[in-house]
Chain A
Amino acid sequence: MRQTRAIELGTGLFVLLGFSALFFLVTQITNREFGFSDGGYQVVASFEQVGGLKPGAPVSMSGVTIGHVQRIEYDFTEYKARVTMRIDSRFNQIPDDSDAGIYTAGLLGGQYIGIAPGGSETFLTDGHQMQFTQSAIVLENLISKFLFSKAAEKQDDQP
């Protein structure tokens, strides 16, 4: 009887350890935050170019995470990428003329949506479509623009 008790105790400890390891991996190592999606409201924004933005990427204001990207679709009426974000209900005083842009965290980091507040007196609500957006910067475009402008300058210098 004593021995069975010891076996059960050891097994219980093992199972507890295993499940807490799993729980820790799911909650602490991944970017998923549980209990975040039960409140909150959805906001939609259209971008010319979303670059490497992925569902689950953070939405931040001044570096504070206020929500996450939920869906990215292609809108054939506007010919633009349509990004649905879920903003936590705590942040319910964002002016509705705020500007949404796609930025990169660090040189090699993932992309996120940064919101710069506007000056309107009315706030963003569920289902609102944001008017002012700024596309992701594609490095190749930037470099080719730079090179073309350099080439144009040279041609101007030597007629």
Chain B
Amino acid sequence: MLSSLTREILQSLRFALEALGAYALFLVRLLKEVPRSLLRFGLVVEQVHNAGALSLVIIMLSGLFVGMVLGLQGFDLLERFGSEESLGSAAALGLLKELGPVVTALLFAGRAGTALASELGLMRATDQLAAMEMMAVDPVRRVVMPRFLGGVLSMPLLAAIFSLIGIYGAQLVGVQLMGVDTGQFWSQMRSTVELGDVMEGVIKSCVFGVACSLIAVYEGYHSVATAEGVGRATTRTVVISSVVVLLLDYLLTAAML
């Protein structure tokens, strides 16, 4: 009884390690292709459009609402301590360091990650990837690489846009609705926020960009070549991306604080 349980645990531990190894090997393979695929930049531009420009509306809307909620909640919290004028710095730090990169990554996994995974999965299911191999075209180089790079390049830009719009959302609620002084809102923000805080957010979103794009292209590329397989790859992309982003967020925060 006990031995079968331990065997099962060891087994799943082994699977987890195997998956981690497969991801690492796939990442190394992709990184090796980076210089070559930068030469064919047109393909990457197309994917930046797919992953970044098409996610812009959802990112901007979410940023606005997250910022507005932060304005309300922050005001309510800070009012209890009698320091509403710190709302600007609280909202800016929260958005730049945490909410901007993390929420952007989660939305990215839902909007662009699923699109990547299902597209690649469908290519696998309809034998398009096999057909490319027959024509001596490396599908990783031609199909996977541009999608990966497009996601990696888009994420920091999306996160920056998210944070900026969020700060204006917080200003909208805090200053226009709750009556915090505009001058105090901005001057407190400027005196507290340092370049390092902005950089922390940028580094985080770069790491999340690599993680989310890698998970999406890996799951899509290695999906089972059936309709069910495509669906499973899409689901796994969202689930794994979300968990990995939150885990990485804790590790990065602990490392950079």
Interface residues of A (CB under 8 A from B): 4, 7-8, 10-11, 13-15, 17-19, 21-22, 24-26, 28-32, 56, 105-106, 108-110
Tell me the minimal C-beta distance from A4 to chain B in angstroms.
Answer: 8
- With beta carbons under 8 angstroms apart, the residue of A11, A18, A22, A29 that contacts B190 is A29
Is there contact, CB below 8 Å, between A26 and B195?
yes
Other contacts beyond A17-B161, A30-B190: 9, CB < 8 A: A7-B49, A14-B56, A15-B52, A17-B56, A21-B161, A29-B167, A30-B198, A105-B191, A110-B191
Is there contact, CB below 8 Å, between B198 and A18?
no
A26 to B86, CA, bound (A): 19
- With beta carbons under 8 angstroms apart, the residue of B45, B53, B163, B194 that contacts A31 is B194
> Known: A22-B157, A30-B190. Contact between A11 and B48, CB under 8 A?
yes
A137 to B96, CA, bound (A): 32
Is there contact, CB below 8 Å, between B45 and A7?
yes
CB-CB under 8 A from B4, the residues of chain A are none
CB-CB under 8 A from B214, the residues of chain A are none
Main secondary structure of the interface of B (DSSP, over half): helix
Residue from the set A21, A28, A30, A109 with the largest chain B CB neighbour count within 10 Å: A30
Number of interface residues of B (CB under 8 A): 33
Is there contact, CB below 8 Å, between A8 and B157?
no
Is there contact, CB below 8 Å, between B194 and A21?
no
A30 to B167, CA, bound (A): 13
- With beta carbons under 8 angstroms apart, the residue of B85, B189, B194, B202 that contacts A32 is B194
Is there contact, CB below 8 Å, between B45 and A8?
yes
Is there contact, CB below 8 Å, between A18 and B191?
no
Closest to A33 in B: B190
A17 to B160, CA, bound (A): 9
- With beta carbons under 8 angstroms apart, the residue of B48, B85, B194 that contacts A15 is B48
- With beta carbons under 8 angstroms apart, the residue of A8, A19, A29, A56 that contacts B198 is A29
Is there contact, CB below 8 Å, between A25 and B96?
yes
A30 to B195, CA, bound (A): 6
CB-CB under 8 A from A18, the residues of chain B are 52, 154, 156-158, 160-161
A8 to B52, CA, bound (A): 12
Tell me the minimal C-beta distance from B112 to chain A in angstroms.
Answer: 12
Tell me if B197 is interfacial: C-beta within 8 Å of chain A.
yes
